[in-house]
Structure 1
Amino acid sequence: MKATPIFDIKPVHGEGPLWCPIQKTFYCVDLIKGSYFKVDWMTGTSQEFNVGQELGVIGLCENGKTVVGVRDGFGFYDETTNRLELVADSPELDVPERRMNDGAIDPKGRFFAGTMEYDGTNDTGNLYRLDADHSVHHLESDIFITNGMGWSPDGKTYYMIDTNRNVLYGYDYDIETGNISNRRNHIKWPKNEFPDGMTVDSEGGFWVAIWDGYKVSHFSAEGQWIEDIAVPVRHVTSCCFGGEDLKTLLITTSRINLSEKEQKENPLAGRCFVVETDTVGQVEPRFKG
């Protein structure tokens, strides 16, 4: 399977892909620039919204706003007023060496996101949960790069990637409280493979973007490798399912930190890609706060 380019947008550091089945729109983040794109599926026309800070991840809210994980923590962005409002007790406001990275919304409408040092060299990252009442809860510590998150279709297991530990963790998940426990390795990669963002499909399988790997790797619910999807870009960052039947895999990439020679070797770096699959994804829940 080979992915092909889609849309005209070209983020510097594409991340956080998201599909809205109601509006038939695709979203993705331009992390360092602090923007996100909103693309109409039928026409390909796009809008860009700049939130004013490094932007790791976005989610859609039931009230029409966008919940975000930014440099300073959790917040809400209003596309009608172009304003970012930070949650009062956002974590790590006074920690300049760290920023929010990846995240996801759980089946009950809670927003998970984690932090990392800008260069990811130390395991000082943390995982947080933002509840509907805007309270913030600390869930996990000692993470290098908090990345790809998702839940099993039955909601009983939470998954999270730590890129620089080359691992996808599984946790027992309490759907009523939003708490995690009993961490274990679910998929482990060799030291030279760096899992980045991912999505969990309706069968519980994993589709994992491999940074520096020119591919998205597909695994079964049990963590067994099934296949690789070739992407003609070195830095593959994340993916999500979208399209009319939720069988279209949408992939983001990055052109950050590429030398002039590497940019020539990766002319499509930063573009979004697409591949049709026989697998149905899961609809991303909306934040209830």
Structure 2
Amino acid sequence: MQVAPLFNSSAEHGEGPVWDPISQKIYWVDLLQGIYFKGDLSSSTMEEFSIGQPLGFLALRANQEGLVMGVRDGFGFYNEKSQLFNLIEPSPEQHNSEVRFNDGAVDPEGRVFGGTMEWNGADNKGKLFRLNTDHSWNVLEENIHITNGMGWNPEKDTFFMIDTNRNAVFAYDYEIESGNISNKRTHIKFANAEFPDGMTIDSEGGFWIALWGGSKLVHFDKKGNKIEEILMPVSHPTSCCFGGADLKTLIITTSKVALSEKERLENPLAGRLFKIETNTVGQIQSRYHG
């Protein structure tokens, strides 16, 4: 598969790509810099917005302008026109400086799932939260090292989440009415030296997972059997999503935060956004209904 860079912009720690099929724009974040980008694939133009604090993930809203986000201080909303960020108070971990939001996704009923981690992921202080449509929230899971890639199968009865430092994708039974999860089990286990980061789940239930430090994406079928490995021209791919008019373009974020100055010179594409044209159709990412 041909891997090609997108846009003439490099993130320190690119993460969390989200495709908007309505505007045909791609969003992604520069996590530790507290910035997000919005790009147009057809014209290669992009905009940049600053939130003012580390930005773990963003998602689109169904009935409101702007975005819902998981930031250092918790859940909140950003309005692009006014360029103002408003935190939901109280927010999860609002006063706990040891952790930050790292990744998130919107469930099939329009609720936000967002996960935290300790800054370096060494201790299992991360939690998984659900932001309901009335702006209340619940704790769904605790004792996580690094909450990462999340998604649902096409049948909408199973939730998947990566814990990077446990080298695994975990599966949970998912109850669509309540948004509750249960019956945690390991779905895909990686070697101890492999660190799965972000991922996307396609319309066939297959997994496309970025390997942090592994210079590749790994594609599995819905049962967790490896189909292929896709080599990347950078060492630290971080996440991916499907976009483009036909939802067949795989868009990948990357990072250079772990690289030394010498390594950055040797890896000039690190931090760039990339695309791969595939024969697989992705799932449209849900929008938050609050």
Amino acid at match of 1:223: G
Deviation at 1:4, TM superposition (A): 1.6
Q: Which residue of 1 aligns with 2:134?
A: 133
Indicate the percent of aligned positions where both proteins have the same amino acid: 56
* 1:67-216 alignment, distance < 5 Å: 67-216=68-217
Rounded Cα–Cα distance in structure 2 between residues aligned with 1:67 and 1:220: 30
3-state DSSP class of the match of 1:257?
A: coil
Q: Which whole-Å CA distance do the structure 1 matches of 2:111 and 2:8 have between them? A: 32
What amino acid maps onto 1:88 in structure 2? E
What one-letter code is carried by the residue in structure 1 that aligns with 2:206?
A: G
Count the aligned residue pairs.
289
Identify the residue that residue 44 of structure 2 maps to in structure 1: 44
Partner SS, residue 286 of structure 2: coil
Structure 2 residue aligned with 1:28: 28
Using the TM superposition, give the Cα deviation of residue 125 of structure 1 relative to its aligned residue in structure 2, in angstroms.
0.3
Counterpart Cα distance in 2 of 1:114 and 1:285 = 17
TM value normalised by structure 2: 0.98
Secondary structure at the aligned position of 1:22 is classed as coil
Q: Secondary structure at the match of 1:262?
A: helix
- Helix, strand or coil: the match of 1:170? strand
Using the TM superposition, give the Cα deviation of residue 41 of structure 1 relative to its aligned residue in structure 2, in angstroms. 2.0
Letter in 1 for 2:37: F
Between 141-150 and 2-11, report the one with greater CA deviation: 2-11
- Distance in 2 (alpha carbons) for counterparts of 1:41 and 1:6: 8
Amino acid at match of 2:52: G
Match of 1:14 in 2: 14
- How do 1:47-62 residues align onto structure 2 when only pairs under 5 Å count? 47-62=47-62
| Matched residue, 1:233 | 234
Counterpart amino acid of residue 219 in structure 1: F
Name the residue aligned to 1:244: 245
Structure 2 residue ranges without an equivalent (≥5): none
User: What CA distance in whole angstroms lies between the structure 1 residues aligned with 2:278 and 2:201?
Assistant: 14
Query: What CA RMSD, in Å, does the superposition of the two structures yield over aligned residues?
Result: 0.7
TM-score between both structures, scaled by the size of structure 1? 0.99
Deviation at 1:75, TM superposition (A): 0.4
**Who is 2:286 aligned against?**
285
Q: Partner of 1:90: helix, strand, or coil?
A: coil
- CA–CA distance in 1 between the matches of 2:214 and 2:230? 11
Contact 2:111 2:132 in 1 (8 A): yes
Distance in 1 between residues matched to 2:280 and 2:141, nearest whole Å: 31
One-letter identity of the residue aligned with 1:37: F
Give runs of aligned pairs for residues 255-274 of structure 1, distance below 5 A.
Answer: 255-274=256-275
Q: Tell whether the 8 Å contact from 2:152 to 2:158 is kept in structure 1 after alignment.
A: yes
Please state whether the residue corresponding to 2:165 is helix, strand or coil: helix
Equivalents in 2 of 1:263, 1:179: separation in Å? Answer: 43
